[in-house]
Amino acid sequence: MEFLKDRGETIDLGARGSLIITAGGWKSYAKEEIDCESFLSLCGEYLGLRNRMKIRDAFNMVELNTVIFECERGVKHIPPWLVVAALDPENLSPSDPEEMGLLAFFDPLPTSYPGFILSDDFGQVSNMPCMCGRAGPVLQFCRRVKMLEDRGCALKMERGTVVVPDTR
Ligand SMILES: [Zn+2]
C-alpha cells in the first residue's frame, strides 16, 4: 500500500472478489506499526477492499503447527485441537477466566518436538460466544512482552518450570 501511495495509484481488489489475509507480527518493524482501524482504512483506500469480512488476520508462531484465523467478525477462533492458556506472568499459574495473561500454547500437531510453548505475547482467552456462531474459545492477542526471551518447552523443562494448564 505504501508502494501504491508513493506512485499515486490504487487497485480495486474489491471488484475482483478478493480476500486479504494478513499474518505475522511487526517484530523489527514495531516503530512502523499502525492500528487495525488505520490498516483497514488503507485497505479500502489503496486496495479497494472496504468489506471487513474480506480482510482477515491470522495468528501464528513459528513454533506452532496451528494457525489461528479470524472469522468474518474479526475474532480469532482457537481450533479444537489447540489449547491456549493465559498465565499470570508473575508465577505462571493460570489466569482467571477472561483475564489477560502470558499466552501458553499446547499444540499436539508437532511431531519433532513437544508443542508446548510459553510465548512472549500477552493476550486473553475468552469463552464468550461470537456473533459468527462458531463455538469454542477465542483469542485476543494484545501485545508482545518486552524483555523476555522466547522459551520453548525443552528449555522450560531444563529449568524445571513447565506449566500444565488446568483444563477442567
Ligand atoms: Zn467468530
Are 163 and 118 contacting, i.e. CB atoms less than 8 angstroms apart?
yes
Question: How many whole angstroms from 137 Cα to the centroid of ligand 1?
Answer: 10
Question: How many whole angstroms from 48 Cα to the centroid of ligand 1?
Answer: 24
Question: How many whole angstroms from 145 Cα to the centroid of ligand 1?
Answer: 26
Specify whether 27 is located in the same domain as 102: no
Question: How many whole angstroms from 105 Cα to the centroid of ligand 1?
Answer: 20
Question: How many whole angstroms from 149 Cα to the centroid of ligand 1?
Answer: 32
Specify whether 83 is located in the same domain as 161: yes
Count of beta carbons in the 10 Å neighbourhood of residue 27: 8
Cα–Cα dist 120/108, whole Å: 20
Count of beta carbons in the 10 Å neighbourhood of residue 21: 12
Specify whether 13 is located in the same domain as 71: no
H/E stretch holding 60: none
Please tell me the total count of domains within the chain: 2
Specify whether 33 is located in the same domain as 96: no
H/E stretch holding 4: helix 2-7
pLDDT of residue 150: 46
Backbone angles phi and psi of 65, in degrees to 5:
-100, 10
Question: How many whole angstroms from 74 Cα to the centroid of ligand 1?
Answer: 7
Q: What is the CATH number of the domain that holds 145?
A: 2.30.38
Specify whether 34 is located in the same domain as 82: no
Question: How many whole angstroms from 139 Cα to the centroid of ligand 1?
Answer: 11
Are 121 and 82 contacting, i.e. CB atoms less than 8 angstroms apart?
no
- Mean predicted confidence (pLDDT) in 130-152: 76
Specify whether 51 is located in the same domain as 119: no
State pLDDT tens for residues 60-91.
888 889 999 999 999 999 999 999 999 998 99
Place of cell 490504487: 10
State pLDDT tens for residues 149-164.
444 544 545 555 545 5
SS3 18: coil
Specify whether 13 is located in the same domain as 75: no
Using a cut of 0.85, tell me whether the model's pTM lies above it: no
Question: How many whole angstroms from 56 Cα to the centroid of ligand 1?
Answer: 11
Structural domain that includes position 36: 1-59
Non-local (6+) Cβ contacts of 82 within 8 A are: 64, 66, 68, 105, 106, 107, 108
Specify whether 167 is located in the same domain as 86: yes
- Mean predicted confidence (pLDDT) in 95-117: 90
State pLDDT tens for residues 31-58.
888 888 999 999 999 999 998 899 999 9
Specify whether 92 is located in the same domain as 30: no
Specify whether 69 is located in the same domain as 82: yes
Question: How many whole angstroms from 10 Cα to the centroid of ligand 1?
Answer: 30
Listed residue (96, 64, 94) closest to 79, CA to CA: 64
Are 80 and 44 contacting, i.e. CB atoms less than 8 angstroms apart?
no
Specify whether 69 is located in the same domain as 108: yes
Listed residue (139, 105, 104) closest to 125, CA to CA: 139
Q: Which of 162 and 135 is assigned the larger pLDDT?
A: 135
Question: How many whole angstroms from 162 Cα to the centroid of ligand 1?
Answer: 31
Question: How many whole angstroms from 134 Cα to the centroid of ligand 1?
Answer: 6
Where does a domain end: 43, 59, 75? Answer: 59
Specify whether 94 is located in the same domain as 150: yes
